[in-house]
Amino acid sequence: MDQPASTSDDHARWDPAPLEESLGEDASVLTVSVVDRAMRGWWDTMARVVGVPGRRWAHHLPHASGPIVARIEGRPMFDTAAWARFVSLMPGAVALPGRTADMFGVARADVRPPAREPARLLDLWRARRMRHRLRRGECTLDADLARFDAWLDRAVEAALAPGEDGTKCAELPLYALAARLDSMADTSVGWEASALVELANAEAQAWALRGLIASGLPPGAALLELARLTSGGGAALPGHVEALETIARGAATDAPGAIDAWMEVYGWASMSELRLEEPPFRARRDAVERWCERLREVPSARPPMTAPELPAGPPDLVDALRRARSLGARREHIARERARAHAALRACAWTLGERLTSDGVLENVASVFDLSLPELLALARGGAPDPRTLPVAPHAQRPVPAASCAHGSVPVQSVGIPASTGVASGPTVVLEQPDPDTDVDGAVLVCRATDPGWLPLMMRASAIVTERGGPLAHAAIVARELGIPAVVGVAQARELARQHGYATVDGAAGTVDFGT
């Protein structure tokens, strides 16, 4: 159910922008409630990693009053006021408020430590200690990520394994399926490696940006230069894409059998990793086969993304740039693993939906996604249905609009943020959600924002244009890795693309000429 926004001030603190890249504009109630639980646990982990004193954190717990992520007026929203309170508890918020604000991406005025704030010298000591903690963590990061991968392997296997008596996962009692869903929803709480990577990367990016500005670059140019210099860290494809690409390249001799084996491992994944309501691949085998066929047409030897040479400059700047490049690749590694966790969550949710539908509790499988996580768990454990939510109308999947051409329309040039160099022209394909059935070969892909689920489409496009994001957004990073032009932050890009049907993208200039 949607969360109420009781007052204008309360409503103003909720912002959809931080979630649009990963959740889109209409994520289901279940997806939003799972993301909220993960976010709350991740904040607790982050506070522990940076060394916020336990008593201070407990006394000023920034998310004690309600959800961090909520569905308001049909849209997933993020509580920016809670985030500002969270940042205000970080080491350095008193002694180095400007640097703390830069590191966590908030306005300087929003950093407001509690009234009983620590002494400036004590807070400065804590900020330096936090930096040393992050540096020490980076020294063992590869080993920590290996342990993280192994831990997640066990969690996913436990979520999908048969029962002790050999009963198939889909046939387990409802309470057992609910326990598995509950356990998977808590997996992100212990992701200390994820918190460390995010914090260390943010700290390195903030130091590098300040160093570039100090060298004489204007802030906007410095941000673009930072994006360029930190590219080429070696980010890998998501596991399900990498495996299917191997099949498409002909490495597997028995393609049908290879796809069957692929389905066994990746069948619960989807094109939108965080949206649990997104149909899994196992329900769309024909689309997967067509996706595989199209991957065969993608050049097998794209020009490799070489890491730009770091400029000669102060040692602190060069070190920050080198760290940001390495940590960015590790951040993408964690995103790959997160997709596996959400595939297991999707398996539990869809299985529960099928079972509750067959028992006559829900109207259909899609209705399960209009329940919050606590409501679904209570229902699966024998609780009474809530008359406010059951029976529930099916969750409507947003239709995927096709590209439309308006011949003879007056060309329009839009200016956005340069994200990846190069020039490309082609028909526009406008998408609201990624779909493997969509033909984007050689076309300009236009969308609101992207996440890792969009990668199979991005690999076949000639250029990428998004309405949201900056030089460090997912679309910008992936476009640079793929070597295709991209412009982000283009206002009304989808509408213009539908009107004109054709576009020329200049990734260096940050311009998109619709209609030419």
In a domain, 42, yes or no: yes
Of the residues 262, 297, 332, which one is the last residue of a structural domain?
297
Nearest to 347 by CA among 374, 368, 363: 368
Orientation of helix 239-248 relative to helix 255-266, angle to 10°: 180
pLDDT of residue 123: 87
Q: What are phi and psi of 346, to 5 degrees?
A: -60, -40
Nearest to 192 by CA among 133, 125, 106: 133
In a domain, 105, yes or no: yes
DSSP string over 402-436:
PP---TTPPPEEEE-EEEE--EEEEEEEE-SS--T
pLDDT of residue 8: 42
pLDDT tens for each residue of 237-258: 677 877 888 888 775 556 678 8
CATH number at residue 500: 3.50.30.10
For residues 224 and 401, the model is more confident at: 224
Angle 31-32-36 from CA coordinates, rounded to 5°: 120
CA distance linking residue 430 with residue 514, whole number of Å: 13
pLDDT of residue 487: 92
pLDDT of residue 397: 37
In a domain, 423, yes or no: yes
Say how many domains are in the chain.
Answer: 3
pLDDT band at 188 (very low <50, low <70, confident <90, very high): low
For residues 481 and 55, the model is more confident at: 55
Distances (CA, A) of 419 to 28, 228, 271: 30, 9, 23
Mean pLDDT, rounded, for 460-488: 85
Peptide bond into 391 cis (omega under 30): yes
pLDDT tens for each residue of 110-134: 888 887 666 888 889 888 998 888 8
pLDDT tens for each residue of 278-299: 889 888 888 888 888 777 776 6
Mean pLDDT, rounded, for 382-408: 43
CA distance linking residue 481 with residue 405, whole number of Å: 30
Of the residues 111, 132, 153, which one is the last residue of a structural domain?
132
pLDDT of residue 466: 93
pLDDT of residue 352: 93
* Average pLDDT of the residues of the chain: 82
pLDDT of residue 402: 39
Asked if pLDDT for residue 506 goes beyond 70, the answer is yes
Asked if pLDDT for residue 189 goes beyond 60, the answer is no
Highest mean pLDDT among 54-63, 114-123, 254-263, 488-497: 488-497
Contact indicator for 332, 472 with CB cutoff of 8 Å? no
pLDDT of residue 32: 93
Q: What percent of the chain has pLDDT over 90?
A: 19
pLDDT tens for each residue of 132-174: 888 888 888 888 888 888 888 888 889 889 888 888 888 888 9
For residues 326 and 409, the model is more confident at: 326
What is the radius of gyration, based on Cα positions, of the chain?
23
pLDDT of residue 302: 56
CA distance linking residue 144 with residue 136, whole number of Å: 12
Domain enclosing residue 268, as ranges: 239-297
Orientation of helix 29-50 relative to helix 192-214, angle to 10°: 70
Highest mean pLDDT among 303-307, 451-455, 475-479: 475-479
Of the residues 78, 97, 132, which one is the last residue of a structural domain?
132
Asked if pLDDT for residue 198 goes beyond 60, the answer is yes
Task: Say whether 86 sits in a helix, a strand or coil.
Answer: helix
In a domain, 451, yes or no: yes
Convert 428-452 to b/e letters by CB count within 10 Å (16 or more is b): bbbbbbbbbebebeebbbbbbbbbb
pLDDT tens for each residue of 75-109: 899 999 899 999 999 998 988 888 888 888 888 88
Asked if pLDDT for residue 419 goes beyond 70, the answer is yes
pLDDT of residue 236: 66
pLDDT tens for each residue of 11-45: 568 888 788 777 878 889 999 999 998 888 888 88
pLDDT band at 390 (very low <50, low <70, confident <90, very high): very low
In a domain, 317, yes or no: no
Asked if pLDDT for residue 5 goes beyond 60, the answer is no
**What is the separation of C-alpha 149 from the centre of its chain, rounded to a whole number of angstroms?**
18
In a domain, 162, yes or no: no
Amino acid in position 240: H
pLDDT of residue 383: 64
Contact indicator for 516, 501 with CB cutoff of 8 Å? no
pLDDT of residue 401: 37
In a domain, 58, yes or no: yes
In a domain, 218, yes or no: no
CA distance linking residue 275 with residue 258, whole number of Å: 27
Asked if pLDDT for residue 192 goes beyond 80, the answer is no
DSSP 312: S
